[in-house]
Amino acid sequence: MATRIITYRDALREALREEMRRDERVFLMGEDIADPFGSAYKVTLGLSPEFGLERVRQTPISELGFVGAGVGAALTGMRPVVELMYIDFSTLAMDQIVNQAAKIRYMSGGQAKVPLVIRTQGGMGRSSAAHHAQSLEAWFVHVPGLLVAMPSTPYDAKGLLKTAIRLDDPVIFIEHKLLYNTEGPVPEEEYTIPFGVADVKREGTDCTVVATSRTVLMALKAAEILEKEGISVEVVDPRTLFPLDIETIVQSVKKTSRLVVAHEAPERCGFGAEVVAQIAEKAFAYLDAPIQRVCGPSVPAPFARHLENSIIVDEQKIADRVRRLVRGEL
């Protein structure tokens, strides 16, 4: 299969373009998404000239309104992809996401379908402070009725977004602001990635690290550091947080007997807590050491670069914890 190296941003744009060409019901809606601005992180740049302003629909700053409109359109035959510029802004639209989009299928006894994708992005690393840098994925994973994807690579971003658009369930599709410029191989040919299938990003034998989004890249760097020290790390990326492919994680833990869960979001009741609980239930007997979490501290994101850097989960923090775990120090 022929591949090219493209950015995460370009991979997402390809997914949108291909799905909009494939299905006339697919349209985009959100703030500042049309050219020449082309959205805050330029994912939709170049789409409005091809598809027009009806299908690349700019909205006023009205998150409750346009997310709600996405729900209504999805309920009646369209397949909207709504962009929430920052995941922090999802709070403004929470009623429509949690009470309407997520629940109407159940409340209606299975009559309703909500083929809605809410694309958004989160994460620290740009000194954007407490209202533009959160990682709120756990909220959405907690709500029955929502699917949550969190790709870490251009390949996953494209394949998962195409799948998200084709699914008839509401999807919260969470990108990371520091991933847009990252590059990776993406096939020329069309492909999709199913939800609920984790990807072992690196095989190893001494410790499993389950990481999400940008923290996957940090875990891979940590694995390289530790490899030089003779410690073999397996990195598992769930790719979709719900549905969660716990089986792949269980298999990995059976092999390595150690588990570290790493993510940028605050530790308390974070997504990692769910992985930890499920492994404690399903693979406790295979563990040789206590499960570890390497997560953000439960504080708001600070502005100053040195403060922000001090709390971001990076390769050193992951490597330190894995090293101590494997050495039996924890």
In angstroms, the CA 180 to CA 225 distance is 24
**The two structure tokens encoding residue 321:** 């914890």
The minimum distance between CB 148 and other proteins, in angstroms, equals 10
Which of these, 41, 38, 30, lies nearest to 67 by C-alpha position?
30
Instruction: Give me the half-sphere count of Cα atoms (radius 13 Å) on the Cβ side of residue 167.
Output: 25
Nearer to other proteins, 27 or 180 (CB): 27
Q: What is the smallest separation between the CB atom of 202 and other proteins, expressed in angstroms?
A: 24
Cβ proximity to other proteins: between 168 and 224 the closer is: 168
Q: Residue 311 to residues 136, 180, 225: CA-CA distances in angstroms? A: 16, 21, 20
Cβ distance to other proteins smaller for residue 62 or 310: 62
Q: Which residues are catalytic?
A: 63, 132
Instruction: Report the nearest approach of other proteins to the CB of residue 283 (Å).
Output: 17
Give the Å distances, CA to CA, from 141 to 79, 85, 247, 253, 274.
22, 19, 18, 23, 10
Rounded Cα distance between 115 and 101, Å, is 9
Minimum distance from residue 136 beta carbon to other proteins (Å): 20
Orientation of helix 315-326 relative to helix 214-227, angle to 10° = 50
Closer Cβ to other proteins, 54 or 189, answer by number: 54
Q: Residues interacting with other proteins, by CB under 8 A? A: 27, 54, 59-60, 62, 64-78, 80, 95-96, 99-100, 104-113, 144-145, 147, 167-169, 194-196, 242-244
Centre a 10 Å sphere on the Cβ of residue 163 and count the other Cβ atoms it contains.
22
